Amino acid sequence: MLTAASVAVTGVPVAVVASSDPPPPPIGVELLTPRSEFTDDVRIGIKVRLEDHPTRHLNMRHPSRTVVARITVQPGAHFPWHTHPGPVLVNVSEGELTYVQASDCVEREYPAGTAFVDPGRGNVHTASNPSDEVTVLLATFFEVPAEGPLTITEGVVPPDDCNVEVGSHAHP
């Protein structure tokens, strides 16, 4: 039907090819490393100070397991409100990300070439790709469990006063 209509309008036949590849998920997570443990006595301390917030000290006396993931966020995709077991260091490799903490509902923009720290440990937040381009994040998760999700959504209560669209996804 489309080919006939194309011929009638343009006079030139148009081949209609159906793609056999399914569309990518709104948010895709690829683990780049297995869940790995430090073999040495490692302690990590990070200070995070967001504008108009007090400094948070993230002292990891037993950072335990880590994992590195590539997270691909399609244009317009939104994460659900969630937290992580421990801190996450995030590099924005491509595109841009809007990050919103439930504690203040402020939209923080992170373009390609920037990085940020998600404190985890009950820091409820969401994020989205506001652009027309794919966003690629490289995330190093600390204090991950031996198995199970890297993202915690169960029991997370979304804030009442944030007017933010959210979606869903699953971490391996």
- So where are the chain's domains? 21-142
Mean of all residue pLDDT scores within the chain:
87
Closest by CA position to 99, among listed 117, 74, 75: 117
Which residues, listed in sequence order, are joined to residue 88 by a DSSP beta bridge? 118, 141
pTM, rounded to two decimals: 0.82
Q: Which helix (H) or strand (E) holds 110?
A: strand 107-111
Nearest-angstrom CA–CA distance, 60 and 162? 30
Summarize the confidence of residues 131-136 as an average pLDDT: 98
Nearest-angstrom CA–CA distance, 46 and 41? 17
> 34-71: per-residue pLDDT in tens?
999 999 999 999 999 988 888 999 998 778 899 999 99
Q: Which residues contact 143 (CB under 8 A, 6 or more apart)?
A: 60, 62, 63, 64, 65, 85, 86, 87, 120, 121
CATH 3.40.50.150 fits 21-142, yes or no: no
Q: Write the CA distances from 155 to 37, 50, 81, 83, 122, integer angstroms.
A: 27, 26, 10, 10, 11
Which has the higher per-residue pLDDT, 15 or 161?
161
pLDDT at site 60: 87
pLDDT at site 171: 54
Residue 19 pLDDT > 80:
no
